[in-house]
Homo-oligomer: A and B are copies of this chain.
């Protein structure tokens, strides 16, 4: 038993000796775009959707796609500094990195609690992660006599609804339903499957994160006068064109249907700019990018399209950018 406690201690110390963990950084509050790809197709350069809001040295994630634990380390923060994860919706490009975060927390003997906030279904989703971890947790470090902690040790889940507010101590969070899903209002699916935008109200500033959304009056209202608006952005025409080029025999009706779906559930560069202008935000950052916008000519092209509708500060995010 004593040996096992020591083994836990070792893991804690290994984490503590990590060169750039939260404790070693100045406590400047910042928003870090950890992964800026639109998902769900893994990209060679941009990681899957993930963001970190750092407040008073505490890390809060807004979505956490594949590889978030690694991206967080690259940003200089320990996975053990994560106090909460806010899931905008349960598409896997936004949740694929959560199992690794919870599992690596367990494996490195994290003792601080973490809370997973998200739409209805978040509890079932996180229970599934515990099931994924259960057998491995029982085996632990393969040492006779060990008494490993359960997979759900120090993990809480809170499901949100449209309009929910949460006070974390570092900020107040508000969740608002956006238009990433097309369920008829009031239907069973409309209740079961929700997609959110989030507002983070800090003592001296406010940040709004759209999540994945089409044009939405509710999101625009949420973003009114925000200091920072972090928005998804998709070149829908280019996506439709790429599919059409790759499939010259695709019927016109099929292409029209696809365009209709993408148009309802995502926003174009012009729509991003219009939303920011109408909401009078101070700074605008585009992430969740399709196409990848890796060439500077592409960045210039899309920047111009957004600036044609918004004349404030605007940036197309790269992975690990800080705002």
Contacts and interface: CB of A to CB of B under 8 A. Distances in A.
The size bracket of the interface on A is 35 or more
A16 interface: yes
Contact of A136 (B18, B73, B101, B121): B121
A278 interface: no
A7 interface: yes
A92 B97 contact: no
A268 interface: no
In the assembly, how many copies of this chain are there? 2
B42 A142 contact: no
A180 B142 contact: yes
Contact of A67 (B69, B92, B125): B69
Interface string A103-139: 1101110000000000001001111111111111011
Nearest to A132: B128
A182 interface: yes
B138 A193 contact: yes
Contact of A42 (B13, B79, B138): B79
Contact of A125 (B17, B69, B132, B242): B132
Contact of A13 (B134, B136, B243): B243
A100 B48 contact: yes
12 contacts: A15-B41, A42-B73, A44-B73, A66-B70, A67-B69, A92-B103, A124-B135, A128-B133, A131-B131, A132-B132, A142-B181, A142-B265
